Amino acid sequence: MTSLSAIRHLIIDMDGVLWHGDAPLPGLVEFFSFLRARGIRFVLATNNASQTPEQYVAKLGRMGVPVARDEILTSAQAAALYLAGIAPRGESVYTIGEAGVQQALTEQGFRVTGGDAPYVVVGMDRGLTWDKLAQATLNIRAGAMFIGTNPDVTLPTERGLTQGNGAVLAALQAATDVSPTIVGKPEPLMYRQAMARLGGAGADTAALGDRLETDILGAVRAGIPSIFVLSGVSRRGQLAGLAYQPDWVFENIADLTAHWQNQ
């Protein structure tokens, strides 16, 4: 097992690791102060596609943690980068999603439309309506490529666990008999994009997350060590009998910081 002291690059999940909704989790400011002091570079890689990088920068700033835009990587950005590799620039894309999805696709040169399109990209959308689902269903049934930013079926909030993007993907899959192409965790693509941005190697890069089936499995598939915190969705008891395991388990980022400081 790699020692915590050997980690120089960290890929960090946000929901359930840094906060629940708008409520920061204990030790947030101290955790980032520790990373900066140790010179540990990081990318905040979230499966939540609803917000733009600028919105995440502002949210962290309100919590007392200054970060740069290029330290944020959302599944919306990852999906737009993936699509840019297979679709012509300027192509029409139908989206279910919020500002994060729309901005990411526009920055990659795509035309976001509310009607017929050969590509459908689905991210979390708190303004989801029957009409949005209907148009996505019609497009997919007509042959549009179906892309999901992430498969998370739940989302931890200050109110508790609510439905996530995976629940919407499941509804569309049931209506179309078409499985989506998933870009976010646990697929390794987003981790590879983050590693390319950091310039790290597998031996000195680790992933930090709260979901065994996305954050930790994604790290395993990407070939990097993983740190599992119990402050979000998955529980310690789920580790029993699991085919893959995290390299470290901590209660939360405050617990992680306390252990890391001693190495």
Q: Which residues are catalytic?
A: 13, 15
| Half-sphere exposure of residue 242: CA atoms within 13 angstroms, side-chain side | 16
Res 216: pLDDT:
97
What's the mean pLDDT in 110-135? 97
- Structure tokens given for 222: 């990407």
Q: Which CATH architecture has domain 87-182?
A: 3-Layer(aba) Sandwich (3.40)
- pLDDT for 78 equals 96
Where do the domains of the chain lie?
A: 4-47+185-261, 87-182
More confident residue, 202 or 250: 250
The CATH number of the structural domain formed by 4-47+185-261 is 3.40.50.1000
Predicted pLDDT of residue 115: 97
Length of the chain: 263
What per-residue confidence (pLDDT) applies to 144? 98
Residue type, 221: R
Write the pLDDT tens digit of every residue in 150-168. Answer: 998 887 677 888 889 999 9
pLDDT value of position 63: 98
Output the pTM of the full model.
Answer: 0.90
Question: What is the rounded average pLDDT for all residues in the chain?
Answer: 94
pLDDT at 193 exceeding the cut of 80:
yes
> Are the folds of 4-47+185-261 and 87-182 the same?
yes
pLDDT tens figures, 41-82? 999 999 989 899 999 999 999 999 999 999 999 999 999 999
Within 8 A by CB and 6+ apart from 224, the residues are 11, 191, 195, 202, 205, 206, 207
Give me the helices (H) in the chain, please.
28-38, 53-62, 75-84, 99-107, 130-141, 165-176, 189-198, 217-222, 253-261
pLDDT at 100 over 80: yes
